[in-house]
Structure 1
């Protein structure tokens, strides 16, 4: 069982993440985007023509989730799928002109949410926060799932 300080830290982390996603989702919805669509649009803005599988890997989500989101974005006119020139089994996803125009609205929504979330933190605090969150992310993304008895042993050592 986690110590009270660790439990409080994790609860704060979960709460902050949930609230930031909710605030961003509300801003995106005002532009006609649903949660998750922004990530695909931004990834395509950085590197157009990716496959759904490539997008899923980059975004850390399952391929069916990406496919559903791409289909919705395609229906909205923001992306189009084209057959791969090198592999007939693959399709590549590209931003449309309308999709390119929408990128600025997505970036603005992200900036406003960042500004709201970081209000009252000076540059030094923001830098420290980014560093700490990076360490937490690295700890959690190593892919290893530790058995509960190992976690309890680690907690006992501290």
Structure 2
């Protein structure tokens, strides 16, 4: 890779991710959601009644971050907390009726952002793109093998 191109892929990925987050955040804000709240809502839509620790693990964030966001969503009446039936020290988080209704707006915002992002790519290109992203995610998540020099080893 030429010297001028070093870091180009990472710079492009970071720039694209930032633009996607900004675009999605703008749509979500129209529905009263702030950055990160949508992820908690969608995680609960897929599996309601998770603990804050389970949500933090699922979303890859620290528990204090989840707690603050849960409290905000609870104040907005999208979520409710209930004590565990087995351990009163443990809380479980559930969507309210208002929260379940808001999921539709979140999903619509995500679909609209994705549609704009993938505009001009045919189905085959979209499938290839998703495959490349999955490979990058796999490599970055620590699932890729690293050799003694700290370089990612080829799996092929």
Higher relative contact order (CA 8 A, sep 6+): 1
In structure 2, stretches of 5+ residues that fail to align are none
Deviation string for 1:102-134 (max 9, x for gaps)?
000000000000001001111111101100000
Mark the CA change 1:5 to 1:139 in structure 2 (over 3 Å): closer, same or farther.
Answer: same
Corresponding residue number in structure 2 for 1:77 = 77
Choose 3-12 or 112-121, whichever is displaced more: 3-12
TM-score (norm 2): 0.90
Deviation string for 1:69-104 (max 9, x for gaps)?
000000000000000001122000000000011000
Mark the CA change 1:126 to 1:6 in structure 2 (over 3 Å): closer, same or farther.
Answer: farther
Q: Distance in 2 between matches of 1:143 and 1:81?
A: 35
In structure 1, stretches of 5+ residues that fail to align are none
Mark the CA change 1:120 to 1:51 in structure 2 (over 3 Å): closer, same or farther.
Answer: same
Which is helix-richer, 1 or 2? 1
* Residue aligned with 2:80, SS: strand
Mark the CA change 1:12 to 1:138 in structure 2 (over 3 Å): closer, same or farther.
Answer: same
Q: Distance in 2 between matches of 1:34 and 1:93?
A: 18
Corresponding residue number in structure 2 for 1:63 = 63
Q: Distance in 1 between matches of 2:59 and 2:6?
A: 27
Q: Distance in 1 between matches of 2:85 and 2:7?
A: 51
Matches within 5 A, 1:44-55: 44-55=44-55
What is the RMSD computed on CA atoms of the aligned residues?
2.3
Q: How many residues align?
A: 152
Corresponding residue number in structure 2 for 1:103 = 103
Q: Distance in 2 between matches of 1:3 and 1:141?
A: 26
* Residue aligned with 2:48, SS: coil
